[in-house]
């Protein structure tokens, strides 16, 4: 059992809302498994600048950053990882001994590692659904790994803008049945509860994609993944990306190898509740 005392180092997540976050149980299980005197808590925060000032003052050692602050914090940190700078957003902050803050983005690392469980990324062709922040991070990550990316979205103006940023091809969503790729990635919220019966890709198109990943993890098996299984595809659920981005955060904060299976079990137990 974790014992909090005067020497306990504090980590946490800032965002609004954060009450639903699975990160506290994931990181606290990892801290406990390795016997580290650290604790991770959720900080509801509406003002990113004030939240960071408070965390600096209180000696917080690391933060996860979620909606709506992933871009807002950029003006209030001291340095940023090169890939995070390309993405234009961070989800991880590391506070050094001098209380300087370094920003990282582990969303793309989490997506790449989840995908790498099923296929080698260099040279592979990915059909990426979405044009928001998640699609942007995943797209940059795939390009970093030497993969090819094609975008599709419900909103033409947004997908054209993101395709310009990523320097990749894009198609209209209704053209997806004309595309073949090594993997399809849903980087939208379509399929998330309470709209778990929604999907952007009809069952007949899924056979064009040997691997299908959905970043949605509630429910764990979305309609997209259920139908992809039925079409003979290998599937990757949203828990994998959540897990691996957290693993990268843990290792950035502690310098230690994360207890991956402990963290996976903690997430699975929470989702099963």
Domains belonging to the chain, first-starting first, are 9-105+240-272 (3.40.50.10860), 108-236 (3.40.50.720)
Q: Looking at 38, 50, 70, 100, which residue is catalytic?
A: 70
When mean pLDDT is compared across 75-84, 86-95, 174-183, 264-273, the lowest value belongs to: 264-273
Tens digits of residue pLDDT in 236-270? 999 999 999 999 999 999 999 999 999 999 999 99
Q: Is 70 part of the annotated catalytic residue set?
A: yes
Beta strand 92-95 pairing with 101-104: antiparallel
- Span 129-182, pLDDT tens digits: 999 999 999 999 999 999 999 999 999 999 999 999 999 999 999 999 999 999
Quote the Cα angle for 68-135-48, to 5°. 15
């Amino acid at each position: 059992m974790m014992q909090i005392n005067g020497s306990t180092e504090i980590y946490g997540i800032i965002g609004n809302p954060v009450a639903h976050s699975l990160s506290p149980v994931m990181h606290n299980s990892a801290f406990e498994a390795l016997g580290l005197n650290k604790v991770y808590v959720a900080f509801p925060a509406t003002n990113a600048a004030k939240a960071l000032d408070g965390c600096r003052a209180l000696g917080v050692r690391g933060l996860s950053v979620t909606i709506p602050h992933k871009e807002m914090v950029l003006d209030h940190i001291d340095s940023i990882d090169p890939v995070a700078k390309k993405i234009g957003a961070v989800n991880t902050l590391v506070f050094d001994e001098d209380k300087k803050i370094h920003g990282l983005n582990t969303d793309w690392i989490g997506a790449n590692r989840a995908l790498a469980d099923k296929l080698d990324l260099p040279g592979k062709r990915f059909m990426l659904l979405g044009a928001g922040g998640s699609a942007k991070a995943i797209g940059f990550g795939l390009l970093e790994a030497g993969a090819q990316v094609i975008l599709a979205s419900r909103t033409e103006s947004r997908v054209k803008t993101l395709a310009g940023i990523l320097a990749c091809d894009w198609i209209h969503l209704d053209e997806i049945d004309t595309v073949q790729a090594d993997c399809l990635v849903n980087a939208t919220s379509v399929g998330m509860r309470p709209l778990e019966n929604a999907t952007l890709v009809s069952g007949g198109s899924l056979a064009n994609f040997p691997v299908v990943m959905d970043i949605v993890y509630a429910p764990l098996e979305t309609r997209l993944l259920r139908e992809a299984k039925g079409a003979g595809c290998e599937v990757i659920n949203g828990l994998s990306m959540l897990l691996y981005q957290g693993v990268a955060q843990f290792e950035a904060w502690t310098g230690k190898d994360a207890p991956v299976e402990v963290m996976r079990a903690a997430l699975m137990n929470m989702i099963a509740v």
